[in-house]
Amino acid sequence: MDRREFIKTISASALICTLPSFSWAEGKGSQSPNILFMLTDDQGYNDLSCYGSKNIKTPNLDKLAAQGMRFTDFYSASPLCSPSRAGLMTGRTPSRCGIYTFLPADGDKNAAESPMHLPGTEITISQLLKKKGYSTCHLGKWHLSHLKIEGWKGPHPDQPQPKDFGFDYSFGTTNNALKDHKDPGNFVRNGKKVGNLQGYSSQIVVDEGIKWLNGRNDKSNPFFMYLCFHEPHEIVAAPQEMVDRHEGNNDKVKTYFACIENMDDAAGRLLKHLDESGLAENTIVLFYSDNGSRSSMSKAANTNSPLRGMKADIWDGGIRVPGIMRWPGKIKPGSECSEPVGAIDMLPTFCDITGATVPNDRKLDGTSITPLFEGKNITRKNPLFWHLYGSTPAAAMRDGDWKIVGYSTKPGQRLEPCFNEEAMKFIKQAKLVNFELYNIRTDIAETKDVSAGNPAIFEKMKKSLLDRFTEVVAEGPTWTWDGTKPARGKK
């Protein structure tokens, strides 16, 4: 599909979901499906061949899309790494959980000072699936707390670890693979430092994943694998033969393209293993990016095109990402859906599929998308919502074709994203003061504020945005820097 045809498809006036007529619930009560989540890091909206890229060849993920459903309007929970993951794992707007921005990397001087992490009181999809008898595995980038190793003498020793959130097995890094994607030396396996590794991060985590699948003690149990690739987050590195495929670009852009192709190769090896081991037919696979591409790639290679903005923006370029789901026998091969859905919906969706209990003692922001698998529309109690205090705009809401954004600072002003005491004060005191309305279906690049021509829609969505913003900020904890526990917000 060429770029013009692709944009025409996703800009159609009607929501389209080409879906099967059978029910996803047929056979419910039989063997629970295995679940594989694959996330990429800072991958732009068109950084797959099946999403319109002319530079990047991704045959394995293209095949996955052909075997399942490709979402044209799939949204991450945030335009930054840590809050994006928090939203996926909890089904809650990240600011409710106190994940207001990214966690600083280990070794960063701010890491010792920042108390922010995913609180142990949050309930994750991995915990819920573990209660349903799933074997659970985390691989790759974690970024919800600082991974500790035996004999840890670093800051914040009480931060919850993957095992505290329901993972039987963990192999990964707190933040990025260091020094870059090649031969990383900062992996931790179940609390023990691994040491220097040979190869590229995407291949390393897939090797570990295959080893874990083969070595499970009770293979009769269904599995949940949460695999977070580091690629293509900078600092980029990829096999030279893949870099050399891309002529006419600067070295950084060529390596970025090759990073994604190397990740596609690694993902293909894992998917092939599922096929060869007889697991694929009963495994749901979700693939998406944690947020849009960062500024250097967005500007140099148009990786978020045709969307406005980039990583750290609440414009669609920061939050609208490639999203693919495959479920053999339940999702029709070659399906395409332009219903707005997102990572925030995955916890209620997979609770719905597996029969896991949805937490009822806290506010969830996601909605199960299982009606889509029956050819029906989904009904949201609350529209999709985003908040990032350092971004301008700082909050946004998508409801059908419409998106409203709200500014807490002057348009064009950007705050320092590093979390500190001043940022915490700003988060709790900030107000939304300026608003704009866009029709995403007819204006995918968010170029024209149409609030003046649609006053009723504008006022309704403005009220909804203000109400949700106020509620979310009030619930989020107030982190402290004096060693005391954070003050919990209002539920």
- Provide the 8-state DSSP code for 282: G
Which of 193-202, 290-299, 356-365, 397-406 is predicted with the least confidence, judged by mean pLDDT? Answer: 290-299
Q: What is d(CA 346, CA 167) in angstroms, rounded to the nearest whole number?
A: 17
* pLDDT at residue 109 is higher than 80: no
Q: What is the pLDDT of residue 1?
A: 47
Closest CA to 177 of 156, 203, 149: 203
Q: What is the pLDDT of residue 414?
A: 65
Per-residue burial over 222-233, b if 16 or more Cβ lie within 10 Å, else e, is bbbbbbbbbbbb
Q: What is the mean pLDDT of residues 103-121?
A: 79
Is 209 in contact with 229 (CB distance < 8 Å)? no
Q: What is the mean pLDDT of residues 165-175?
A: 96
* Higher-scoring residue by pLDDT: 22, 450: 450
Q: What is d(CA 222, CA 369) in angstroms, rounded to the nearest whole number?
A: 21
CB atoms within 10 A of CB 96: 25
User: 175 burial class (0-12, 13-18, 19+ CB within 10 angstroms)?
Assistant: buried
pLDDT digits (tens, 9 = 90+) for 411-449: 666 666 678 888 899 999 999 999 999 999 999 999 999
Angle (deg, nearest 10), helices 201-215 and 251-276: 10
Is 386 in contact with 314 (CB distance < 8 Å)? yes
* Higher-scoring residue by pLDDT: 33, 13: 33
User: 99 burial class (0-12, 13-18, 19+ CB within 10 angstroms)?
Assistant: buried
* H helix or E strand, kind and range, residue 253: helix 251-276
Walk me through the domains of the chain, giving residue ranges and CATH numbers. Answer: 3-374 (3.40.720.10), 384-475 (3.30.1120.10)
Alpha helices in 389-486 (DSSP H): 421-429, 455-475
Q: What is the pLDDT of residue 154?
A: 64
Percent of the chain whose pLDDT exceeds 70 = 89
Q: What is the mean pLDDT of residues 169-197?
A: 94
Which structure tokens are listed for 47? Answer: 């950084």
Which of 200-204, 250-254, 258-262, 368-372 is predicted with the least confidence, judged by mean pLDDT? Answer: 250-254
Three-state DSSP class for residue 30:
coil
Closest CA to 115 of 125, 123, 104: 104
Strands 192-193 and 283-289: what pairing?
unpaired
* pLDDT at residue 139 is higher than 70: yes
Q: How confident is the model at residue 193 (pLDDT cuts 50, 70, 90)?
A: very high
Query: Over the chain, what is the mean pLDDT?
Result: 90
Residue with tokens 């495959």: 326
Residue by residue, DSSP assigns 264-312 as: HHHHHHHHHHHHHTT-GGGEEEEEEESSPPPHHHHHHH-TTTTSS--TT
Amino acid letter, 366: G
Percent of the chain whose pLDDT exceeds 90 = 77
Q: What is the pLDDT of residue 218?
A: 86
Which of 76-85, 274-283, 362-371, 411-420 is predicted with the least confidence, judged by mean pLDDT? Answer: 411-420
Strands 320-326 and 283-289: what pairing?
antiparallel
Q: How confident is the model at residue 169 (pLDDT cuts 50, 70, 90)?
A: very high
pTM higher than the cut 0.85: yes
Three-state DSSP class for residue 40:
strand
Q: What are phi and psi of 201, to 5 degrees?
A: -55, -45
Which of 82-86, 176-180, 270-274, 447-451 is predicted with the least confidence, judged by mean pLDDT? Answer: 176-180
Residue 445 sits at the vertex; the CA angle it makes with 262 and 309, to the nearest 5 degrees, is 55
Q: What is d(CA 166, CA 187) in angstroms, rounded to the nearest whole number?
A: 19
- Check the CA dihedral 275-277-281-287 and report its sign: negative
User: 461 burial class (0-12, 13-18, 19+ CB within 10 angstroms)?
Assistant: buried
pLDDT digits (tens, 9 = 90+) for 268-307: 999 999 999 999 999 999 999 999 998 667 677 888 999 9
Q: How confident is the model at residue 20 (pLDDT cuts 50, 70, 90)?
A: very low
Q: How confident is the model at residue 64 (pLDDT cuts 50, 70, 90)?
A: very high
Q: What is d(CA 81, CA 42) in angstroms, rounded to the nearest whole number?
A: 8
- Provide the 8-state DSSP code for 164: G
Q: What is the pLDDT of residue 486?
A: 83
Q: How confident is the model at residue 119 (pLDDT cuts 50, 70, 90)?
A: very high
pLDDT digits (tens, 9 = 90+) for 468-482: 999 999 999 999 988
Q: What is d(CA 109, CA 463) in angstroms, rounded to the nearest whole number?
A: 40
Q: How confident is the model at residue 483 (pLDDT cuts 50, 70, 90)?
A: confident
* Higher-scoring residue by pLDDT: 20, 454: 454
Q: What is the pLDDT of residue 397?
A: 98
